[in-house]
Structure 1
Amino acid sequence: MVKQTFPRELRLLTPEDFQNVFAKPVRAASPQLTLLARINDCGHPRLGLAVPKKVLKRAVWRNRIKRLLRENFRLKQSELPNVDIVVIAKSGIGKLSNEELQKLIDSLWRKLTRRYNG
């Protein structure tokens, strides 16, 4: 059985981790989300989130988006390539329902996986 937890090792924690992804990323984007990814040496995917206050003013709105993104990543991590991923929220994301956001992030994971697997 595949472990589906979200421990500290699966997160991008330092500014250097984020800068490494921003340096030469592979992109998967939609009007509401942008995924930036770069190969890592960890042997597993890692996730970093950027949900700016400029996009979603209230903390509860930002936390909802982050919670849904983390949960979706936790469930899909075994299908993803060994990359560091930074998810950047853009305007309009707050208008999506939970189901619409789940469908959107699933399609972006698939797009990103296709780009790395050829």
Structure 2
Amino acid sequence: MNILSFPKKLRLLKTNDFKQVFKNAYKVQNKEIIIFGNPNDLLYPRLGISITKKKIKYAYLRNKIKRLIKEYFRLSQNFLIKMDFLVVVKKNILINDKKLFIKKIHTLWKRYYQFHK
């Protein structure tokens, strides 16, 4: 697998996959974002994202947040533990400053890095 790719097999697509992550999930969070993680039997991590209209009103903002989360995951997937991850945005989040948003995401993701076991 190309280290800079984000193929379909790295995504949580089915409802049952999302439910499985919620069952026995390890959770890290800040005021705006929760990342649920659940070990999988695969050789790679997978990502799911949940952002509701109720939390983020405009579609272009939801898409921008999703793009930033996917980009961060894509670049750091080789350092992550082999788990299924579900990122949930729980509050209106300002993403005017991409560096600040990435920093917030990084502080949550680093708990799942292999060298932090």
With the length of structure 2 as denominator, give the TM-score of the two structures.
Answer: 0.92
CA contact (8 A) 2:12 2:84 kept: yes
Secondary structure of 2:88's counterpart equals strand
| CA distance in structure 2 between the partners assigned to 1:19 and 1:113 by the alignment | 23
| CA distance in structure 2 between the partners assigned to 1:58 and 1:92 by the alignment | 11
| CA distance in structure 1 between the partners assigned to 2:75 and 2:91 by the alignment | 25
Q: In angstroms, what is the RMSD of aligned CA positions?
A: 1.9
CA contact (8 A) 1:35 1:108 kept: yes
Query: Identity over aligned residues, as a percent?
Result: 35
Ranges in structure 1 where 5+ consecutive residues have no aligned partner: none
Deviation of 1:98 (Å) = 1.1
CA contact (8 A) 2:65 2:95 kept: no
**Residues 1-118 of structure 1 mapped to structure 2, 5 A cutoff:** 3-94=3-94, 97-113=97-113, 117=117
Deviation of 1:53 (Å) = 0.5
Ranges in structure 2 where 5+ consecutive residues have no aligned partner: none
Deviation of 1:92 (Å) = 3.3
Q: Which runs of 4+ in 1 moved over 6 A?
A: none
With the length of structure 1 as denominator, give the TM-score of the two structures.
Answer: 0.91
CA contact (8 A) 2:95 2:101 kept: no
